[in-house]
A and B are shown apart, each in its own frame.
Chain A
Amino acid sequence: MEKSIRVKNVSKKYKLYKNKKEQLLDVVTRKSYGQDFYALANIDFEAEKGDVVGFIGINGSGKSTLSNIIAGIVPETTGTVEVNGDAALIAVSAGLKGDLTGRENIELKCLMLGFSKKEIKNMEDDIIEFSELGEFIDQPVKSYSSGMKSRLGFAISVTVDPDILIIDEALSVGDKTFAEKSLAKMKQFKEKGKTMIFVSHSIAQVKQFCEKILWLEYGTVKDFGTVEEVMPKYEKFIRQWRKMSKAERETYKQEADKRKKKILEMTS
């Protein structure tokens, strides 16, 4: 099987600064200031062509960071990411310009993706139709509701027909009918054998749609496998997590952080 995404030993480090002075010193001087925070620690993950992978995990587990790295929006700190083909990320209102109208945004976005004027003209109608924006398409995007923005974002991304589609919570804002329509569109993509990554908190949507699951926990891979393997474990974990008190959650997090540190030490 052809590999579509290959993520190898990827870590992402962010720096946490106490104040602006630390940040400035860190940029200007050779010495390192501020506290390191690893949003991702040594992630290994592969997706074959045609896979539909769900990223799950509680808040702060690094799902969005990883999808941003795969989409090529955020650079990784260490490790390598190989992506075969174009990856498009759909997040709520990603990259829309508020001052321009919906139609102008479509043109602008497609232009930056490298389409010619004629191709854009051809795609425009499809995008407008799919987004169901109607006459609002000629209104500035800043007047849109969050649902309208994500509809437009979604419509653009699916119409430009990327090889790899990464959907980051984008369907949680639209109403039910649009979510269903989007799911139907994604099913079409699935049938075409495109790779998809689906970041969601909705266990039901993930179950319905994904084949494989990458379970992230505080920046590390907790589990990776088919839905049948991983989902029961995750559901069990979530039930436990809900019952935990604040203090218990804190100790759990500290233990996870310790594990993360060990992983990082082993690799460096």
Chain B
Amino acid sequence: MKSALMIIKEQISNFYLVRRLSLYELKSKNQNNYLGILWEFLNPAIQILIYWFVFGTLRSRDPVDVGGVHIQFFSWLLAAFFMWNFFYQSTIQGSKSIYTKLRMLSKMNFPMSVIPSYVIFAQFYIHIVMLLISIVILQFSGYYINMYYVQLIYYIFAAYCLVFAVSLITSTLSTIVRDFHMLLNSSLRMMLYVSGVLWPITILANEFPKIMQFLKLNPLIYLIDGYRSALFGVEWHFIVHWQYTIYFWGLVIVLFIIGSALHVKFRRHFIDFL
């Protein structure tokens, strides 16, 4: 508990540092490519086209029902995909952040929790831009801006909190045991298929309701459903599904407390694990 408060304090007082460092992070990551930062957007764009082709065209997906509204498959996919991309990229980058950047920081009294934080923040910029691009595309597909968009702010914040809490745990574990990062990498690939990004998990509702309930324990589904409800103007998702909201924040808080306890316990000794 004490370490959790300490981390929150560190985050707030170093917010300027997080913002500045995240810009350098973006810069140094894309220095070698001619197209530079554009790759951050090209990569997911190519991916989404592949999924669209495989699932939308070859498997000819029907429009998906979101809270009684029928949504074309591509738009439905798009509304969740950039959310997934943010989660995937920042979890991966966050997990390896400490052991890749520690040498550069080389000072123990540096507020270490800033490291995963600024890496996530770099992804956060990309997420915002991708969200805006998606919104523009959705306008052309006939899903217009509506007042439910307001809840996007809430969901973006919630996504950030989840990713940060997860990264505190994974970055510590990956630094101590490097194999953990490999494990995380492969399990995240699997996550894509069970998080309701590519196919609606509601198709399990009739035949396998137990499995659907189990899959819903995944906090990503909460976020993805929320993004979709907002972008397609369906409902005030976090109020309508208030039990799910409580579950989500309960989970985030538990993860955050575990993460900060781990982080604070090992932060002084990170350098010994390099």
Query: A: which residues have CB within 8 A of B?
Result: 14, 24, 27, 71-75, 89, 94-97, 99-100, 104, 107-108, 111-112, 117, 140
Partner among B27, B31, B110, B177 whose Cβ is within 8 Å of the Cβ of A27:
B177
Q: Please determine whether A100 and B27 come into contact, CB atoms closer than 8 angstroms.
A: yes
User: 8 smallest A-B Cβ distances: which pairs?
Assistant: A99-B28, A99-B31, A95-B106, A75-B268, A100-B28, A72-B108, A73-B106, A95-B104
Q: How many angstroms from the CA of A117 to the CA of B17 in the assembled complex?
A: 11
B17 — which chain A residues lie within 8 A by C-beta?
Answer: 111-112
Which residues 99-116 in B have Cβ within 8 Å of A in the complex?
Answer: 103-110
B9 within 8 A of A: no
B109 and chain A: residue at smallest CB distance: A72
Instruction: Give the docked Cα–Cα distance between A95 and B104 (Å).
Output: 4
Given A72-B107, A97-B104, A112-B105: 14 more A-B contacts, CB < 8 Å: A72-B109, A73-B271, A74-B271, A89-B106, A97-B28, A99-B28, A99-B29, A99-B32, A100-B24, A100-B27, A104-B24, A112-B17, A117-B20, A140-B31
B21 close to A (CB within 8 Å)? yes
Tell me how far the C-beta of B111 lies from the nearest C-beta in chain A, rounded to whole angstroms.
Answer: 10
B272 within 8 A of A: yes
- Chain B contact residues: helix, strand, loop or mixed: helix
* Cα–Cα, bound, A140→B27 (Å): 12
Interface pair B24/A75, CB less than 8 Å apart = no
Complex Cα distance, B271 from A71, in Å, reads: 13
What are 16 A-B pairs at a CB distance below 8 A? A24-B177, A27-B177, A75-B272, A94-B106, A95-B105, A97-B28, A99-B28, A99-B31, A99-B32, A100-B27, A104-B27, A108-B21, A111-B24, A112-B17, A112-B105, A140-B31
- Decide yes or no whether B176 CB sits under 8 A from chain A: yes
Does B107 lie within 8 Å of A73, measured CB to CB? yes
Which of B27, B106, B271 is packed against the most chain A CB atoms within 10 Å? B106
List the A side residues contacting B106 at CB < 8 Å. Answer: 73, 89, 94-95
How does the 8 Å CB contact mask read for B243-274 relative to A, with 1 for contact and 0 for none?
A: 00000000000000000000000001101100
User: Is there contact, CB below 8 Å, between B28 and A75?
Assistant: no
Q: In the assembled complex, which residues on chain A have CB atoms less than 8 Å from the CB atom of B29?
A: 99
Q: Which residue of A is nearest B14, CB measured?
A: A114
Contact in complex: A112, B28 (CB < 8 Å) = no
User: CA separation between A112 and B115, bound complex, in Å?
Assistant: 11
**Chain B: interface residue total (CB-CB under 8 A):** 23
Cα distance A125–B107 in the bound complex, in angstroms: 25
B residues in contact with A117, CB < 8 Å: 20
Q: Which residue of B lies closest to A88 (CB)?
A: B107
User: How distant is the Cα of A161 from the Cα of B204 in the complex, in angstroms?
Assistant: 65
Collect the chain A residues with CB atoms within 8 Å of residue B108's CB: 72-75
Bound state CA distance, A104 and B49, in angstroms? 36
Measured CB to CB, the nearest residue on chain A to B114 is A112
Contact (Cβ within 8 A) B24 A108: yes
CB distance from B46 to the nearest CB of A (A): 24
B103 to chain A, nearest CB (A): 7
Measured between C-beta atoms, what is the minimum distance from A185 to chain B in Å?
Answer: 22
Q: Separation in Å of the B21 CB from the closest CB of chain A?
A: 7
A100 to B101 alpha-carbon distance, docked (Å): 14
Which residues of B are found within 8 Å of A14, using beta-carbon distances? Answer: 272
Q: How many Å from the CB of B272 to the closest CB on chain A? A: 7
Partner of B271, one of A75, A104, A107, A140: A75
B-side contacts of A108, CB under 8 Å: 21, 24
Q: Mark B164-202, 1 if CB is under 8 A from A, else 0.
A: 000000000000110000000000000000000000000
Alpha-carbon distance between A89 and B21 when the two chains are bound, in angstroms: 22
Q: What's the nearest-Cβ distance from chain A to residue B187, in Å? A: 19
CB-CB under 8 A from B103, the residues of chain A are 95
| Smallest CB separation, B266 vs chain A (Å) | 10
**Residues from chain B with Cβ under 8 Å of A96 in the complex:** 104
Task: Please determine whether A100 and B31 come into contact, CB atoms closer than 8 angstroms.
Answer: yes
Q: Judging by beta carbons under 8 Å apart, are B272 and A111 in contact?
A: no
Picked from A95, A97, A111, the residue with its CB within 8 Å of the CB of B20 is: A111
User: Which B residues are in CB contact (< 8 Å) with A24?
Assistant: 177
Q: How far is the CA of A97 from the CA of B268 in the complex (A)?
A: 22
CA distance A29 to B117 in the complex (A): 30
Check A111 against B21 for contact (C-beta < 8 Å): yes
Among A24, A97, A140, find the residue whose CB has the most chain B CB atoms closer than 10 A: A97
Beta-carbon nearest neighbor of A113 in chain B: B107
